[in-house]
Amino acid sequence: MATAKPSPQGEAAGGLPVRLVLAFYAGMGAAAAIWRLAVDGAWPWRAGPAADLLPIPWRVAAGLAAGAGLVALSRVVTARTEAGRALAAELARVLGRLSLGRAWLFAGASGLAEEAFFRGALQPRVGWLAATLLFAAVHFVPRAKLWSWSLFALAAGAAFGALFAVTGDLLAPLLAHVLVNGLNLRWLGERRQAG
C-alpha cells in the first residue's frame, strides 16, 4: 500500500498542512492563556480547589473513561445513521491520509488548545452551559448532511465541561478530548486509505 509523502511544508497529499494546523491551535492556546491571565490572573489549567481533592489517578481514569465512551458513541452514530456515515466520509475526505503520528499530533494540539480555551478560559467566566453551547457552535457545519458533528460536539463539550467542573483542572477533559480526537482521526485516516 502506498503512503503519502509529506511535502516540504509538512502536508500529505490531500491533507491539511501540519504547520497551518499547529499555528491555528497555538494561537488558540495563547489566546486562552493571555485571556485568563489578564482577566483572572490565573493560568487556564486550573479552575479551583477541586483539583486538590481528587487524586491524579482518579482524574486520569475519569478522562480516559469519558473519552472511550465518546469514541464508542461516535462509532455507533457512524454505523447506525446516514448522517454519521456522511460525516465520516466528508471528514475523511477533508483530512486526507493521516499517519498515526499526524493523527495524534493533531489530536494533541486540538485537545490542548480547545480545552485551554473553552474550559480553562471561557467556562470559568460564562459557565458550563454557555461554554458547551459555544463549543458546539464552532463545530457547526452549515450542511444538513453533516448536522451530527454539531450534536456530537455538544455531547462532547458537555462531558468535557463536566469533567473540568468536577475535577477542578484540565487534566481529565484534556485526556478525554485527545483520546476522542486521536482515535477518531486515526480511524478516519484508515477509512480514507481503505476507501
Mean pLDDT for back-to-back runs of 10 residues, the chain (195 residues): 42 70 96 92 73 84 98 95 91 86 96 97 95 95 84 97 93 97 92 65
CA separation, residue 95 to residues 63, 65, 89, 134, 192 (Å): 25, 26, 10, 23, 9
For residue 118, give the amino acid letter. Answer: F
Q: Which residues contact 162 (CB under 8 A, 6 or more apart)?
A: 128
Q: What is the DSSP string of 121-141?
A: IIHHHH-HHHHHHHHHHHT--
Which pTM value belongs to this model?
0.88
Judge whether 160 lies within some domain.
yes
- Residue 194 has a pLDDT of 65
- Residue 47 has a pLDDT of 66
If DSSP states are collapsed to H, E and C, what string results for 35-47? HHHHHHCCCCCEC
- Residue 50 has a pLDDT of 62
- Residue 7 has a pLDDT of 43
Contact 180, 67 (CB under 8 A): yes
Judge whether 4 lies within some domain.
no
Can you tell me whether residue 74 is helix, strand or coil? helix
- Residue 24 has a pLDDT of 97
Contact 180, 189 (CB under 8 A): no
Judge whether 1 lies within some domain.
no
Helical H runs in 41-127?
A: 50-53, 56-80, 82-95, 100-114, 123-126
Judge whether 23 lies within some domain.
yes
Judge whether 9 lies within some domain.
no
- Residue 65 has a pLDDT of 98
Domain that residue 30 falls in: 18-44+53-194
- Residue 46 has a pLDDT of 72
- Residue 4 has a pLDDT of 42
| Number of domains comprising the chain | 1
Cα gap 110→173, rounded to integer Å = 12
Judge whether 7 lies within some domain.
no
For residue 170, give the amino acid letter. Answer: L
Judge whether 173 lies within some domain.
yes
- 194 CB-contact burial (10 Å; exposed 0-12 / middle 13-18 / buried 19+): exposed
Judge whether 154 lies within some domain.
yes
